[in-house]
Structure 1
Amino acid sequence: MGEDRLLKLVRSRHKVLLRVMVVFVLLLAAVNLEQNVQDYHINQNHVMDLAQFEESKQMAKKNHYTFYDNKSYEEYREDQRHLFIPKQKGQLSSDFISGNFFTVVSYLIPLLIGLAIASIDQASGFNAAIFSSGFRRRRVFATRYWYGFLSLLGVMMLGSGITIIGYYVAIPAMYVGLSGMNLLGVLLMNIAVVSFMYTIGTAIGTIFASPFWMGVFGLFGTWFGATAADRLIYSTMRSNPVRLSGNNLFFAYFIAAMVISIIGYFATRWLFDHISLENAGNVLLLPKLRWVVMIYALAVIPYGLGPWLLNNELLSYTVSIIAILALGFWWWYRERPQKKLA
Structure 2
Amino acid sequence: MQNQVTKLIWRRHRRTFVLAGLLSLLVGVANDLITLHTLNQMPGHTELVKASINHWQVYEGGSFPAYSFWLFIVAWALGLVLMNQDLKDNFNQFLFSSGFSRQRVYWTKLWQGLAATFVIVVLTLAVQYGIFWVSLPARVGFHLAWPGLITSWGYGLAGSLGMFAMCWFAALIVGQTGALVVTLIGFTLSLSGVAAIFERLNSKGGLGWDLNGAQLAWLSAGSWVVAALILFIWGAYLYQHLSLEHNGEYLLFPELRVPVYIVFVVYVTGVNGFNGTDGYSTVISFLVAAAFGYFWLWRPSIMAKWHRWRSQREG
Per the alignment, residue 266 of structure 2 pairs with: 299
Per the alignment, residue 270 of structure 1 pairs with: 237
Structure 1, unaligned runs of 5 or more: 48-79, 338-342
1:268-309 Cα distance to aligned partner (Å, 9 max, x none) = 11111112122224211111222332233223334445699x
Q: Counterpart amino acid of 1:5?
A: Q
**CA pair 304-109 structure 1, distance change in 2 beyond 3 A:** farther
**SS class of match (1:14):** helix
**SS class of match (1:178):** coil
Q: Note the 1:1-342 alignment, pairs <5 A.
A: 1=1, 4-41=3-40, 44-45=42-43, 81-96=46-61, 100-169=65-134, 170-172=136-138, 175-224=141-190, 226-240=191-205, 242-305=209-272, 313-331=278-296, 333-334=298-299
Normalised by the size of structure 2, how large is the TM-score? 0.83
**CA pair 143-329 structure 1, distance change in 2 beyond 3 A:** same
State the alpha-carbon separation in 2 of the partners of residues 323 and 20 from structure 1.
39
Structure 2, unaligned runs of 5 or more: 303-315
**CA pair 144-267 structure 1, distance change in 2 beyond 3 A:** same
**CA pair 96-10 structure 1, distance change in 2 beyond 3 A:** same
The structure having more radius of gyration, on CA atoms, is 1
**CA pair 271-8 structure 1, distance change in 2 beyond 3 A:** same
1:139-181 Cα distance to aligned partner (Å, 9 max, x none) = 1011111111111111112111222222222154982221022
State the alpha-carbon separation in 1 of the partners of residues 245 and 112 from structure 2.
28
State the alpha-carbon separation in 2 of the partners of residues 21 and 7 from structure 1.
20
Q: 1:25: how far off? A: 0.3
Count of equivalent residues: 299
Normalised by the size of structure 1, how large is the TM-score? 0.77
State the alpha-carbon separation in 1 of the partners of residues 284 and 5 from structure 2.
50
